[in-house]
A and B are shown apart, each in its own frame.
Chain A
Amino acid sequence: MAPATSTERRQGDGAPRIILPARLDLPAAAPLAAELQSHADGPIVIDATNVAHLGTPGLQVLLSAVRTWWESGRDFSIEGLEEDAITRQLAIFGLTASDFQPRAAEG
């Protein structure tokens, strides 16, 4: 059973807003990758506020998304990474919120 990823349309530019599930682990990774890919032709907003458990597979999908959008030059933003719970999890991996900015992904 894959945890649900929910999508909302943002009012202004119509960019979909992907709300990440609380557990971003191996079972959640593939559905999330598919979901993100289906929106790859436009701008996107990812909301990570709810993420309580970030596993490596989920992390990779997010990093891959960063790269995908950076390469296509479309608008990409990921929100909620500055929350304490997520920062701490990223720190375990040796990452910070800046690693999810498209320009950082290049380096």
Chain B
Amino acid sequence: MRAPDPMAEIRASFFVECEELLESLQDGLTAMEGGASDSETINVCFRAVHSIKGGAGAFGLDDLVRFAHRYETVMDEMRAGRLSADAEAMRLFFRAADVLFDLVRAARDGTSLDEADIEATLSELEGLTGGSPKPEGEAEAVEFTPMTLSLDLPGLDISPDEAAAAPGWDISFKPERELFVTGNEPRHLLAALSEVGPLETRCDTSAVPPLWDLDPEENYLSWSMRLAADVDRERVAEIFDFVDGVCRLDISRCSSDVAGATACADRLSPDPTSARPDPEPEPATVPIAEPSAPTPVAAAGQTSPAPASPPEEPAKPKQTVRVDLDRIDRMVNLVGELVINQAMLTQSVAEMGIPANSPVSHGLEEFMQLTRDIQDSVMMIRAQPVKSLFQRMARIVREASASVDKRVRLVTDGEATEVDKTVIERLSDPLTHMVRNAVDHGLESRDKRVAAGKPDEGVVRLSAAHRSGRVIIEVSDDGAGINRPKVKQIAEEKGLIASGLQLSDSEIDNLLFLPGFSTASKVSDLSGRGVGMDVVRSSIQSLGGRIAISSEPGRGTTLQISLPLTLAVLDGMVVRVAGETIVVPLGSIVETLTLAGSEIRHLGPRTSVIHIRDSFVPLLDLGAELGYRTPLGQYDSSVVLLIAKEDGSRSALIVDEIQEQRQVVIKGLQESYGHVPGIAAATILGDGQVALILDPVDLMARASGATRAAADLTIIPGREPSAEESLHAG
């Protein structure tokens, strides 16, 4: 299958590349901010910006080229040691990185940005060096101009050996077949190279066969080029980064040895004049400017101080393949089917009464193990570290803190934690809102902080971790904590709750998630964006996640999101209740037990709790809650699943029988049936039967409000909807 438009593909891959480059730019800047002042760190940043510029040039993205050019020029000053990485410089570098990010996005999506903003950032940035750079962007941005300006600007930092080794590079480039197949196009590379400096290009067409021997997807051309620009090897090599491994590339230096000038030219083409016996009349078409400096090679004389070919190769980056997400999803689906199929097979084998120690059973066990391994591996393909997400949040913190004049430090933890790609993408909006809230509402103003004896710089902490098969992401601040009397008062004023209610702290905290709630007495331009915490909560819930809030006066507020690792499979416990088969997610089950009559206590006319190890847990009859039957009333020796929510609150679910523990493939119900209360999804069991997958937390929430009186509220600490519902009821 070939993509219909290789150009679109290479363009898309450029933008993917940009994301990676922007990420390394952020990393570099963060390291610099943290005090890393070594030249390699600065180089990493410089190269990132420079590569974006190079690629953008190849696609004629002029705005991006112009900005990147001016940005890298200032960065170059730092590289040269003429500019120090003080706080102000770093702030501007970060801001410029943000603008660069926006420009990349704008170029990708075909939108445009406010010129004035960009210009303002640039002029502040250039104010660091006290001068505006050479107006190079214009000429450079033109893709087709082979005679581009050279980058060897007067201000450029040239290391002594490079300077001695001027003026350029011999490059020989022969694409391999795979270069086309991977959607690359030599033309863009050649064009990008010509932007680095005056370039003389010779194309060897001698290998092109007649039509009947021609394979249109094979490459028969090769190029030898001489680049007359004082740039380091890296700059030349990075242009070919895209095609690493799918071409033969040789980059060697032309020395400045005058005596060797002809030798260098010779190397380009054995006889440049005879190769073109019929010179074109139009001067514009004659390949690229002759280099002004004499050119040279070490082959003739040994006087050159620089080696003809620097031996050091850039470290090979980890090999990666870009794969269409659809393909992965198809594979995830297939593996899901495999899991179901394997379950069916296991069931058939069991039904045939084959003994457990038979070769069939052993083979089946191995098969199960393999299936699981495959499944894990497939899921790993989709998983990505949350780092990119966290970096975006760093920017939100910078912008938010600037607009409300607070000093905020973002501390991140667990950036390497991997989460399903879809989850990461869909987490961006809610997390942005949470981080903004933390800066805007969570942290106090500087004066108040100082008055409270805290450092005037606030801390927002962002952490990610895997915990019992879920991903936990926390946003916390070290602010004043939730002002509960005020929250309660506002909720009363807005009519969200009846006034005069007694609410627990956690119930008050959860009021923040009510639709229509906003604490900001003045709507700042930060948080007042018409998005409330209720929207945040529902977007988290749509990912199968939950959000919890906790707060300590004077110490800060923590929002905790808990998400499933994957949206495709689930470890579940298969139970029977009222003749139906139900799957309960294993992650939510704390323990299973058989009830003794003495453990059951009645609470009010309709509800009961059970007494487990010094605590009381509300009892829910699953059959009754799901509407399969009326409550049995008598639960002595019933089987109970103890279910826990993220915040630690528990309920006891009564089921008739526990059948087995197994992995099930999640088949969504949303599309066909919408949201079914208490039910997360469905699955197909080994015998082909459809079983519903329980959403225990949703069930707990609804159970306490719908089929039972509000009486157990005093025992279960705040569950958002239950608080809401009971409040309304009260």
Contact = CB atoms under 8 A, between A and B. Distances in A.
Interface string A43-61: 0000000000111110111
A57 B186 CA distance: 10
B274 A61 contact: no
B5 to A, nearest CB: 7
Contacts of B216: 26, 29-30, 32-33, 57, 60-61
Contacts of A60: 208, 214, 216, 219-221
Given A40-B211, A56-B175, A99 B217 contact: no
Nearest to A101: B278
B248 to A, nearest CB: 15
A53 B221 contact: no
A15 interface: no
Interface in A47-78: 53-57, 59-61, 63-65, 67-68, 71
A94 B2 contact: no
Contacts of A107: 274-275, 277
A9 interface: no
Given A30-B216, A40-B211, A53-B7, A63 B285 contact: no
Interface residues of B, number: 47
Contacts of B6: 25-27, 55
Interface string B1-13: 0101111000000
Interface stretch (B197-205, B418-426, B453-461, B602-610): B197-205
A84 B144 CA distance: 10
Contacts, number: 139
B214 A71 contact: no
B146 A91 contact: yes
Contact of B280 (A32, A63, A97): A97
B288 interface: yes
Contacts of B201: 91-94
B187 A26 contact: no
A33 B215 CA distance: 9
A95 interface: yes
Contacts of A27: 2, 4-6
Interface centre among B144, B205, B282 (most CB of A within 10 A): B205
Contacts of B278: 98, 101, 103-104
Contact of A33 (B185, B191, B214, B280): B214
Contacts of A105: 205
A95 B194 CA distance: 14
B225 A94 contact: yes
A5 interface: no
Nearest to A81: B285
A82 interface: yes
Interface residues of A, number: 46
A49 B340 CA distance: 59
Contacts of A89: 144, 187
Contact of B211 (A37, A99, A101): A37
A17 B2 CA distance: 29
B403 to A, nearest CB: 44
B331 interface: no
B286 interface: yes
B276 interface: yes
Interface in B99-153: 144-146
Given A25-B185, A61-B216, A92 B211 contact: no
A63 B279 contact: no
B171 to A, nearest CB: 12
A6 B473 CA distance: 59
Given A25-B5, A61-B216, A56 B186 contact: yes
B633 interface: no
A92 B220 contact: no
A56 B286 CA distance: 19
A32 B217 CA distance: 12
A64 B277 contact: no
A96 interface: yes
Contact of A65 (B203, B211, B286): B211
B210 A59 contact: no
Interface in B281-320: 282, 284-288
A92 B214 contact: no
Contacts of B209: 64, 67
A68 B284 contact: no
Contact of B191 (A59, A92, A101, A104): A92
Contacts of B221: 56, 59-60, 63, 93
A88 interface: yes
Given A26-B217, A55-B6, A104-B278, A64 B175 contact: no
5 contacts: A25-B185, A60-B220, A88-B284, A95-B203, A107-B274
Interface of B: 2, 4-7, 144-146, 175, 180, 185-187, 190-191, 194, 200-203, 205, 208-212, 214, 216-217, 219-221, 223, 225, 274-280, 282, 284-288
Given A23-B7, A91-B146, 6 more contacts: A29-B216, A64-B214, A65-B211, A89-B187, A94-B202, A99-B203
Report, nearest first, the 10 A-B pairs whose CB atoms are least far apart: A94-B201, A29-B216, A94-B203, A88-B144, A30-B216, A68-B210, A96-B280, A63-B208, A64-B214, A68-B211
Interface of A: 1, 23, 25-27, 29-30, 32-33, 36-37, 40, 53-57, 59-61, 63-65, 67-68, 71, 82, 84, 87-99, 101, 103-105, 107
